[in-house]
Structure 1
Amino acid sequence: MWRKTAQIMFALVIILFLNGWNPLQASPQAAENQQAVVPQTLGLSAKESAVASPAFKKNLPADYTMHDYLIYVLADVEAFWSPIMVKDGYAKPAVTYSFPASGEPVQTECIIETPINPAQSFYCGYDDKIVMTQLMATQLLEGTYKTNMEPQSEFKAGDFSIAFVLAHEYAHNLQTELGWLPVTADEAPKATSRSIELNADCMTGVWANSVNARGLLDPTDIQEVKRTLADIGQDPSAPNPTHGTPKERTAAFLLGYDSGSAASCEPYLTTPY
């Protein structure tokens, strides 16, 4: 349960493009007019530093809220990736966030609404904003959010399920910084949706490797990720595979986790899926 000092007690739609809709996808005409630009990749061959987050606090206060926890996780993810990007010659990633409570509107350049389904988690590249509703986080924690018809995993969900999804959305921000995702409606992604999603899963595994190296993972945390991927991976029978199946997504996450290197994730972007 990721070294909590007290149990979390709280009462993506998750926009992960599961139904083939992509708020970042440009129109076919815009895609035809898009000039061919070779996006950047991290190109890191060495294992990422496991001490890239010196400001990370091991324990949250006993009375922390879900909003506190989301900020806590995002701060660690950002503190891990920012120095790596800067060290390798890229700009420091810039991202904003919104973690609305139930009933609060979700407002980004991609979507402005009070959600009909208030369980949402997504990244908007138009304004570099990550959104995760607190209800979405609670459902991930409880293991009650499921988007496919496959049998439920034997593993239990938990707080690292939330951390995985939030770190996955941050990986989309990295993809934007490196040119793989568009920043305006006139642009198109430079890779297929499933390639982008599997790369983000892999990059999330790289971050999780650093969390483990810092002694902050509990024995069940990786199992919690596997449970979440089983719940939100795309059903293999889906006709429009915009995401990977649970098996594909789990393999991508474990590739990043086992290698601890962003370079291991690059083939997902350069190979169409």
Structure 2
Amino acid sequence: MKWRGRRGSRNIEDRRGRGIGGGAAVGGVGGLGLLVVVIGWFFGVDLTPLLQDGAVAPDRSSGGPITEADRQAGEFVSVTLADTEEVWSDIFARQVGEPYRPVTLVLFTGVTQSPCGGASGATGPFYCPVDRKAYLDTAFFTTLSRQLGASGDFAAAYVVAHEVAHHVQNELGILGQANRIRAQSSTERSNQISVRLELQADCLSGVWAAAARDRFGSIEPGDIAEAMNAAARIGDDTLQRGAGRVPRPETFTHGTSEQRQSWFATGYETGDITACDTFSAERL
């Protein structure tokens, strides 16, 4: 992905290096389990199966000095976010007929707080509709690459684009409506709705990727393969198998690897948000 030397976003809230009290408790497996209960369904990357088995651990449990890797990751996220702002502003103008209000992305190290609960790099990035912000510990990119096997800058861009896609859903009124229905549903039904939300976000990420290719010429050979690999690595079935379990579809909240790849491809191939209507799809 061609990103160096390009415009960054102003909608970054940088909390890196600050840390919060109680970092050790939140960083432990027990603390993470509580976080998953509070805000688990907001996560763009559901690492719950691995967390419960101790297979994924945070790189750090509290704020610390900003490293050169942190600095570069922050710049990368800023450029990617700026790209999403331009793309979605244009798409909303052409396909929605409404202005797009950009998301604010919070960068943090270790742990931080949000209106949706505590956040940790180990549990993955997430979007909080209460304050309309996405939260990301850039150390998660290391987890994504080293522990989940999804390396490459476009794999990281896919993660950012997925969280922005949840904001797009919020802007379109989809997220709030789905949330209200889930609150009145059984656990299994709630999970089914969550899967459709997440797959739609994958599709919208593909729409963004197609627009970024045409608008910025930023996509290089192999980039889409990196995104597809990342989508495969974070499918519910793959994560559950990685934790030594037999996949249980009734517990899925994000979709299988095949589904996540398929819906990203749909968005990328069509470039049309109407093609991302997972809620009307008979087969996911």
- TM-score (norm. length: structure 1): 0.67
Who is 1:67 aligned against? 74
Q: Which residue of 2 aligns with 1:172?
A: 166
Alignment of 1:1-273 (within 5 A): 2-3=1-2, 21-23=40-42, 65-87=72-94, 88-101=96-109, 103=110, 105-112=111-118, 115=120, 118=122, 120-140=124-144, 143-146=145-148, 157-182=151-176, 187-188=180-181, 192-213=193-214, 214-235=216-237, 237-238=247-248, 239-266=250-277, 268-271=278-281
Superposition deviation, residue 216 in structure 1? 1.4
| Cα distance in structure 2, aligned partners of 1:169 and 1:23 | 9
Relative distance call for 1:23 and 1:211 in structure 2 (3 A) is closer
> Structure 1, residues 23-51: CA drift from partner, whole Å, max 9, x if none?
59xxxxxxxxxxxxxxxxxxxxxxxxxxx
The answer to whether the Cα contact below 8 Å between 2:199 and 2:263 also exists between their aligned partners in 1 is yes
Q: TM-score with structure 2 length normalisation? A: 0.65
Cα distance change, pair 271–219 in 1 and its aligned pair in 2 (3 A): same
Post-superposition CA distance 1:146-173 (Å, at most 9, x none): 3xxxxx7xxx620000100110111111
Per-residue CA deviations over 1:12-70 (Å, capped at 9, x if unaligned) read x7xxx89x94259xxxxxxxxxxxxxxxxxxxxxxxxxxxxxxxxxxxxxx96111111
Q: Which has the higher helix share?
A: 2
Considering only aligned residues, what root-mean-square deviation do their CA atoms show, in Å?
3.1
Q: Which amino acid aligns with 1:176?
A: N
Distance 2:173 2:182 in 1: 8
Give % identity: 31
Tell me if structure 2 keeps the 8 A contact 1:99–1:131.
yes
Is the alpha carbon distance of 1:84 and 1:4 closer, same or farther for their aligned partners in structure 2, counting shifts above 3 Å? closer
Q: 1:195·1:271 contact (CA, 8 Å) conserved in 2?
A: no
Aligned partner of 1:200: which letter? A
Segments of structure 1 that go 5 or more residues without pairing to the other structure are 7-12, 25-62, 147-151
**What secondary structure, in the 3-state scheme, does the structure 1 residue paired with 2:134 have?**
strand
Evaluate the alpha carbon distance shift between residue 215 and residue 259 of structure 1 in structure 2; reply closer, same or farther with a 3 A threshold. Answer: same
1:110 aligned partner, one-letter code = C
Aligned residues: 208
- Residues 265 and 208 of structure 1, relative CA distance in 2, 3 Å threshold: same
Distance 1:247 1:23, change over 3 A: closer
Residue type of the partner of 1:95?
V
Check the 8 A contact 1:93/1:173 in 2, yes or no: no
Higher-RCO chain (CA-CA 8 Å, sequence separation at least 6): 1
| Distance in 2 between residues matched to 1:225 and 1:70, nearest whole Å | 15
What is the deviation of 1:107? Answer: 2.1
Paired residue secondary structure (1:243): coil
Counterpart-to-counterpart distance in 2, 1:83 and 1:211: 11
1:108 Cα deviation after fit: 1.5
Q: Please tell me the residue identity of whatever aligns with 2:118.
A: I
Alpha-carbon distance between aligned partners in 1 of 2:210 and 2:135, rounded to the nearest angstrom: 24
SS where residue 97 of structure 2 aligns? coil
